[in-house]
Amino acid sequence: MSRIAYNTVTLNADEGRSFNKQLFGLVGAVALSLGFTIGYIASSPASQSAWTAAVPLTSSRATTTVAPSVAVSRPRFPAVAAQQLDAADIAVPPAMLSMFSATSEPAVMNPAVSIMGLGAILFGGFMVVRGWFSKPTPQALLQTVDLHSAPAKSPKWAMASAVPNPSAGDGKTIRIATRKSPLAMWQAEFIESELKRMYPGITVELQPMSTRGDKILDSPLAKIGGKGLFVKELENALLEGRSDIAVHSTKDVPMELPDGLDLSIICKRHDPCDALCFPKGSTKATIDDLPEGATVGTSSLRRQSQLLLKRPDLKFVELRGNVNTRLAKLDSGDYDAIILAAAGLERMGFTDRVMPGKANIIDPDLMLPACGQGALSIELRSDDPETLALLQPLHHILDATTVCCERSMNRRLQGGCQVPISGFARLNGNELNMQARVGSISGAGPLIIKEKTIEIDMSKPWAEIKPIAEQLGTEVADMLLDAGAQAYLDEAYASNDAGVAAQMAANTGAE
């Protein structure tokens, strides 16, 4: 499955309404034009003459003095012309004069043609009015997909499958622990909207929290403890019973969870790739467009180790803060480019940062994504089966299969943001492929790349699919270790200022 499988488009309500108006307006205009055309042709002299010739003016039947409802009130053109002819100028046979005399019956229009014209006019008017007052398709209907549908065919923000019992949430309250960052709030609010869509009677409360990772912005994550700093406070709220669930970007969730908590729900995955973002107004699109020695903002050792192999001249600079802050730093000239997750840009509405044709989305063959990137996940207490049952429709089995495979590989390598590990699983029918890479934080050696493909029966229950996927991840990790990946891992863990920060200190003499 290629990256393109995740590039789907959803028609929003405004676009739907505009489209309906255009469609119905076009059909209505055509119908009105047809109706008036038929009416004009039917009332023209030529058509009247043809109709009169086809129906004799005299008949053996008795006639009535009541004019038919479709009679034309004015005299026929031939009769008027005959009256204006001068007998001295032209000789008209008596038979012809009697044929076109003013006393002949009024012209009669073809009833079938009249009905057709009137019908076309009425239909055209109806379509125009319908187009103008038509309502857009409800967004909820655009977002509803089947749990087992293929990602490439699903709407972009679709999450939940069909809910067997919408009343199951009546009277219940779900408290969601979330970070305060704009992206984290978007994710929590989206899960809130999905829960309310599935269960109209449910109450959802958001509990924004500031984590230690949000507060420490002057040190690299690899130095201060990794991405686990972003979830610690949320997990404490779960364990203490102050919150019911926590919503995460799966790539930020540590491989080992505290006792009593499970990452039970893996939602539908969005674009898992990275985006190379340039300052506003730039015409650059790819890594090849970067000038020699360009400054690239990223805090990811994974991204650094892979890009250094293609562009060893690049200078990497520490980049922290939320998406808005990072883009503002880019536009202010602090960097030639920065690297961000494509899914985060799309969720926050920064579609202008994605080039036409997604030219600045980095192909996974060049830079493999982080494990779980692009997928939202929900963490909850292991002893809360009632909440788990309510959340179950949000669990996307196809993407959960690939994400669990990736996380299993990373867990086996004891990975975190301190080490440059990348992993990406692809599911094609009943074939599950897992590729993983480990790089050197100094770029001194080549990437170690391993992959394996297995057959997996996706018709089985999730309880049977999950261990098979996790086993594949573990096997690929062992292949990496057998190829010498442990030396790279030891190098990373032995460095106090791993990766980007160490490089900057060496280049500038400061942290």
Whether residue 90 is predicted with pLDDT greater than 90 in this model: the reply is no
Residue in this structure with the two tokens 């409802």, named with its chain if needed: 69
Strand order in the sheet with 431-438: 421-428, 431-438, 448-455
Q: What is the pLDDT of residues 437-485, one digit of tens each?
A: 999 887 678 899 999 999 999 999 999 999 999 999 999 999 999 999 9
- How would you label 12-35 residue by residue, b for 16+ Cβ within 10 Å and e otherwise? eeeebeeebbeebbebbeebbebb
Least confident of 10-19, 142-151, 360-369, 391-400: 142-151
Active site residue 86: no
Strand order in the sheet with 315-317: 315-317, 295-297, 337-341, 274-277, 361-362
Q: What is the pLDDT of residues 194-232, one digit of tens each?
A: 999 999 999 999 999 976 655 444 444 445 444 556 688
Please state whether the predicted TM-score (pTM) of the whole model is above 0.95. no
Q: Half-sphere exposure of residue 95, counting CA atoms within 13 Å on the CB side?
A: 0
Whether residue 344 is predicted with pLDDT greater than 70 in this model: the reply is yes
Task: State the greatest distance between any 2 C-alpha atoms of the chain, in Å, as a whole number.
Answer: 123
Instruction: Tell which residue, 208, 264, 204, has the closest CA to residue 233.
Output: 208
Q: What distance in Å separates the CA atoms of residue 154 and residue 144, rounded to the nearest whole number?
A: 9
Q: What distance in Å separates the CA atoms of residue 164 and residue 273, rounded to the nearest whole number?
A: 34
Give residue 9's pLDDT. 32
Instruction: Tell which residue, 439, 428, 277, has the closest CA to residue 361.
Output: 277
Give residue 37's pLDDT. 61
pLDDT band, very low/low/confident/very high, at 119 (cuts 50, 70, 90): low
Q: What is the pLDDT of residues 260-279, one digit of tens each?
A: 999 999 999 999 999 999 99
Q: Choose the catalytic residue: 170, 214, 244, 252.
A: 252
Whether residue 24 is predicted with pLDDT greater than 70 in this model: the reply is no
Query: Where do the domains of the chain lie, and which CATH numbers do they carry?
Result: 163-267+375-395 (3.40.190.10), 274-353 (3.40.190.10), 397-510 (3.30.160.40)
Give residue 114's pLDDT. 62
- What DSSP state is assigned to residue 108? B
- How would you label 376-401 residue by residue, b for 16+ Cβ within 10 Å and e otherwise? bbbbbbeebeebbebbbbbbbbbbbb
DSSP string, 149-166: --GGGS-TT------S-G
Cβ 290 vs Cβ 331: under 8 Å: no
Structure tokens, 489: 């891992």
Structure tokens, 148: 């087992």
